[in-house]
Amino acid sequence: MGSLFPLSLLFFLAAAYPGVGSALGRRTKRAQGPKGSPLAPSGTSVPFWVRMSPEFVAVQPGKSVQLNCSNSCPQPQNSSLRTPLRQGKTLTGPGWVSYQLLDVRAWSSLAHCLVTCAGKTRWATSRITAYKPPHSVILEPPVLKGRKYTLRCHVTQVFPVGYLVVTLRHGSRVIYSESLERFTGLDLANVTLTYEFAAGPRDFWQPVICHARLNLDGLVVRNSSAPITLMLAWSSAPTALASVSIAALVGILLTVGAAYVCKCLAMKSQA
């Protein structure tokens, strides 16, 4: 197995997504539905619940989202949606309201559905995330430096970077994996991972692949590079030495051969 070396990550900022959302990992309090959900306080004349569906949704930038807000109030006085995202059409029915959100580009946003029943207001929350899967994953041909191979993988146009995991796989085993959760930038980015791998005799003639994975709270988006076979290579100094050795060996063989031929001719002439 190759030894581990420090990872170098280079980020090149591209066009930023407009809009500011709440942190993706933030957990929000909500009034839950009938599955073990608390009802209104005992002083409320009409107990009821409010529920949002889906509670979490991830879309590519510029797409629309449909959210459904349901409740158990017999006669709701008011129902509304609070969100920084642009709203579209609203549809209503018995015990539910459907809200359309247009052109979602904020990296993470919250949508709160508030329902008032018998003078009491309860709410539920959905989280909406905009994401961009890696446009491409490119693994450069390995470069031999000394006794180690330098592997360099480029992941382009990905967002959000903080949920990206980059993995280098050699044959059937993982030789390096890095989670970028410490990066909290709000911009579309290009990522370059560089890793030095000390290959042994059994490591040659096996494919190396770079994998990129976005894990967005259950939604997993993957992309991989084309495989590159790790070839046996020689540095310039050993190559030159080998060439000199081969030339010397050929010279010796020619000298021995010439001497043998001369001896044979001499013996033939004496006979």
Element (H, E) at 13: strand 8-16
CATH code assigned to 48-128:
2.60.40.10
pLDDT of residue 88: 94
Query: Torsion-angle region of residue 184: left (phi > 0), alpha (psi -120 to 50) or beta?
Result: alpha
Contact 95/72 with Cβ under 8 angstroms?
yes
48-128 and 134-228 share one fold = yes
Count CB neighbours of 116 within 10 A. Answer: 17
CATH code assigned to 134-228:
2.60.40.10
Count CB neighbours of 174 within 10 A. Answer: 12
Is the Cα dihedral 172, 178, 179, 184 positive or negative?
negative
Digits of tens for pLDDT over the chain (271 positions)?
443 333 333 333 233 333 333 333 333 333 344 433 444 443 445 689 999 999 998 888 888 999 999 999 998 999 999 999 999 999 999 999 999 999 988 878 999 999 999 899 999 999 998 888 899 999 999 888 877 889 999 999 998 888 899 999 988 889 899 998 888 776 778 999 999 988 777 777 888 999 999 887 777 889 999 998 877 654 443 444 445 557 666 778 778 777 777 777 677 676 6
pLDDT of residue 200: 73
Rounded to whole angstroms, the Cα distance separating 137 from 118 reads 56
CA dihedral 186, 187, 190, 196 (to 10 degrees): -20
Element (H, E) at 242: helix 236-270
Is the Cα dihedral 132, 138, 144, 148 positive or negative?
positive
Rounded to whole angstroms, the Cα distance separating 221 from 134 reads 9
pLDDT of residue 46: 62
Token match 């967005």: residue? 216
pLDDT of residue 85: 94
Q: Residue ranges per domain, the chain? A: 48-128, 134-228
